[in-house]
Structure 1
Amino acid sequence: MTTDTLTKEHEDEVALPQGAKPPKERNVQGHRRLLTRRDRVTLGLMAGLPTVLHIAFVWVTALASVALAFTTWNGIGFDSIHWVGLQNFRELLTQNPQFWPAVQHNIVWFVVLILIPTPMGLFLAVQLDKKIRFSRVYQTAFFLPVILSMAVIGFIWQLVYNPDTGLINSVIGANEPGHYIDWIGDPDLNLWAILVAASWRHTGYMMILYLAGLKGVDPSLREASALDGATEWQAFKHVTFPVLRPTNTIVLVVTIIESLRAFDLVYVFNKGAQGSELLSILITNNIIGESSRIGYGSAIAVVLLVISLIVIIPYLVATFRKERRS
C-alpha cells in the first residue's frame, strides 16, 4: 500500500465528526433515490388521469366520428347503425345546397380576420411596445374581449345591432318605423355584422401575440437603424418585421383555426340562419337537430377535420424540424 493511499484514507477518517454516520451509498448510476413510492403513485395519477381523459374524450370521439361518417344512424340504439360507404360524402358534395355556401363563408371569415383585425393587432402591438404612458391600461382594455366568452360577446353585439334601440341604428337614424336596418336578420348583412364582432375580439388576440413577438427584437438593431438615419417605417420594415417571421406563422395558423372552428358567435346571433351558414353550424344542425342524422353530420365533421389537418400538419412538421436543428 502506497503512502498516497494511506494519506487519503486518513483524511477520510478525519473528515467525519465523531459519532457521525457515513453518507448513504449511491446507486450504480451515481444518483440518489429522489422519488418515493408515494411520489411515483401521485405523479402517475396526475399524469395518467388527464391522459386517459384526453384519449377518451378527444381521440376516441374523433375516431368514432370518422367511423360514423360512413354510416347512417339516428342516435337511438346501436342496432340502427347501417354502413353506407361514401354515400354521405356524395350527398354532401352534390345534393346539400348549404354546404358550398358554408365553405365560402368559412373562407370569407378567414380573409376578413387576416386582412382587418390582424394588421390592427400588429399596429396596436407596435404602438404599445414603445412604452407609452398607461400602456398596461391600454393592453388590458384591448385584451378584455379575448377574456370574454363568445356567448357574452354575442349578447353584447346583439344589443349594439338591435333594430329599435341598438347603438348603430340610433347613430345613423335607422331606428324609426319603416327605416329599420335588421343587421342580424338580413341575409345580405348578417355575416358581415357577425364578422365585425369577431374582428373586435380577434384584434386583441393578435395584439398579445405580436407583443410577445416584439420582445424578441434586439434593441441594439433599432438603435443602429436610428443612427443610420432610418425612419420609423424603414426600421419596422427592415428590422422589426423580419424578426416577427415566426410570430407571423403562428398568427396565420391561429387565424385559420379560428375561422374553421367559428361557431359560438354565429349560433348566439341567429343559429346560422340563411346568409351566415358555417361548416360547424351544419354539423350541429344535423347531429342535434330535429331530424338527427349523426352519420351525415359526422361526414361534415370529417371534411372539417381534413381541412384543419392540411393546415396544422405542415406547421407541426416545420416546428419539429426547427427544434431538431436547434
Structure 2
Amino acid sequence: MTATMHSDTEANTVAGPHHRTPGPDRKTRSRRSRGVVGFGHWWWALPGVLVVLAIHYVATGVGGFFAFTNWTGIGSFQLVGLANFQKILGDPSKILALGNTLFLAFGSVVIVNIIGLAIALALNRTLKSRYILRVLFFMPVVLSPLAVSYIWKFIFDFNGPINAILKSAGLESWQKSWLGDPTFAIWAVLIVIVWQQTGFAMVIYLAGLAGVPTEVEEAAAIDGTTLWQRFWHVTLPAIRPAVAISTTLGIVNGLRVFDQIMALTNGGPAGATETLATQVYKQAFSLANFGYGAALALILSAIILVFAVIQQRVTRGTES
C-alpha cells in the first residue's frame, strides 16, 4: 500500500513540470490569425477600391448628371431635363454617327473573329514556323493605334502605295483619294481596325484550342468525319468560352473606336466616318457643349452595356 502511494507521488512529480494551464486551442488561434490577416488584406486593398470607385463609378455618375444640364465646362449650369437627348434624336448627323458606330463594331467583330479563328487553326499544331508567325500576326496589337493609323493613312493617300500599284497595273481609272471618298472612307477605317485587332483574337483562340483534347479529334478522324465536321462538332463546342471572350471584347472595343478615326479622317469626309465616340470628344472639348457631349457619352455607355449583356446571355444559353 505504501509502495503504491509512493509510486503515484513520483508519477505526479514527474508529470508536474510538464503540466500547463489550459489556453485557447489551435482552432481558436488560427481563426483569430485569419481574421487579423483578412482585415489587413482589406486595408491594403482599400486604396485601390476607392480609386476604382472614384474613377469608374463616381466620375460616371457625375458625367451622367451633367447629361441633363446645359453646362459648357466652365461656370454655372441649368438643368434642362431630356432636352439634350431630344436634340440628339432629332439630329440626322448623330443618327449617322450611331449607324457608323454599330457598323464598325459588328463589322469588325465578325471579320476579326473569322480571320483570327482561321489563323489560330492554321498555326495551332502543324507548322514548324508557327511560333514566329504567331509573333508576326500579334505584333500589330502591341503597336499604338495612332501610329498604325498614320501608316495606313499614307497607304490610302492618293500618292500612296495602293494607287501606285493600280497605276503600275494599268488601272488608273481605279485610282482615288480613298480617305476622301465618303463611300469608301468608313471601309478604310474598318480595314485598319481589323488589321490591328485580328492578332488579339488569334491569341484568344489559340488559348482555347490548347484545351481541345487531341484524342477526341483523332477519334473523330478515325470515324471518317470530314475536316469541317470535326471543326463544327468537336473543336467549336470546345472553344465556346474563347468565342465568348473574343466577341465581347470585340464589341466593346468596336463601339468605342476613336483613335483610328481621328488619325485617318477626323470624322470626315462630310461626317461620313463620325461615330458616337468622336462626337462626344468634339461636342464636349472642341465645341464646349459639355452637357450635350455627356448625353452622347451616356447613350454610348448604355449601348455598350446592353450589347455586352445580350452577348453574354446568348453565349451562356449556347453553352448550356
Q: TM-score range by the shorter chain?
A: 0.7 to 0.9
Matched, 1:167 2:161: yes
Q: Deviations over 1:8-30 (max 9, x none)?
A: xx9xx99xxxx9xxxx9755435
Question: Are 2:201 and 2:246, in contact at CA under 8 Å, matched by a contact in 1?
Answer: yes
Q: Mean alpha-carbon deviation: is it higher for 264-273 or for 280-289? A: 264-273
CA distance in 1, matches of 2:210, 2:241: 13
Question: Are 2:116 and 2:202, in contact at CA under 8 Å, matched by a contact in 1?
Answer: yes
- CA 1:238/1:176 → structure 2, altered by over 3 Å: closer, same or farther? closer
**Once the 2 structures are TM-superposed, how far is the Cα of residue 180 of structure 1 from its aligned partner?**
5.3
Q: Which has the larger radius of gyration?
A: 2
CA distance in 2, matches of 1:76, 1:157: 38
Question: Are 1:118 and 1:202, in contact at CA under 8 Å, matched by a contact in 2?
Answer: no
Q: Deviations over 1:293-318 (max 9, x none)?
A: 11111111111111111123355678
Question: Are 1:154 and 1:268, in contact at CA under 8 Å, matched by a contact in 2?
Answer: yes
- The equivalent residue for 1:89 is 85
CA distance in 2, matches of 1:280, 1:169: 31
The AA in structure 2 aligned to 1:170 is: A
CA distance in 2, matches of 1:279, 1:299: 11
- The equivalent residue for 2:207 is 212
The AA in structure 1 aligned to 2:186 is: L
- The equivalent residue for 2:276 is 279
Question: Are 2:113 and 2:247, in contact at CA under 8 Å, matched by a contact in 1?
Answer: no
Q: 1:129 aligns with which of 124, 130, 134?
A: 124
Matched length: 301
CA distance in 1, matches of 2:37, 2:211: 42
Other structure's SS at 1:29 match: helix
- The equivalent residue for 1:311 is 307
- CA 1:36/1:104 → structure 2, altered by over 3 Å: closer, same or farther? closer
**Once the 2 structures are TM-superposed, how far is the Cα of residue 249 of structure 1 from its aligned partner?**
2.1
Which sections of structure 2, spanning at least 5 residues, go unmatched?
A: 1-10
The 5 Å alignment of 1:160-309 reads: 160-164=155-159, 166-173=160-167, 181-273=176-268, 274-289=271-286, 291-309=287-305
**Once the 2 structures are TM-superposed, how far is the Cα of residue 34 of structure 1 from its aligned partner?**
5.6
Matched, 1:71 2:69: yes
The AA in structure 2 aligned to 1:263 is: F
State the percentage of identical aligned residues.
30
Q: Deviations over 1:108-154 (max 9, x none)?
A: 11332133222111110011112411111111100111111211111
The 5 Å alignment of 1:8-157 reads: 27-29=26-28, 31=30, 43-44=41-42, 46-77=44-75, 80-94=76-90, 96-157=91-152
- CA 1:245/1:104 → structure 2, altered by over 3 Å: closer, same or farther? same
TM-score, scaled to structure 1: 0.81
**Once the 2 structures are TM-superposed, how far is the Cα of residue 64 of structure 1 from its aligned partner?**
0.9
Question: Are 1:253 and 1:312, in contact at CA under 8 Å, matched by a contact in 2?
Answer: yes
Q: Of Structure 1 and Structure 2, which has the larger fraction of its residues in helix?
A: 2
TM-score, scaled to structure 2: 0.83
**Once the 2 structures are TM-superposed, how far is the Cα of residue 250 of structure 1 from its aligned partner?**
2.1
The AA in structure 2 aligned to 1:29 is: T
Q: Deviations over 1:25-83 (max 9, x none)?
A: 75543527667989966x45642222111111111111111111111001112xx2100
Q: Deviations over 1:244-296 (max 9, x none)?
A: 2222222222221122111111011122122101000110010001x211111
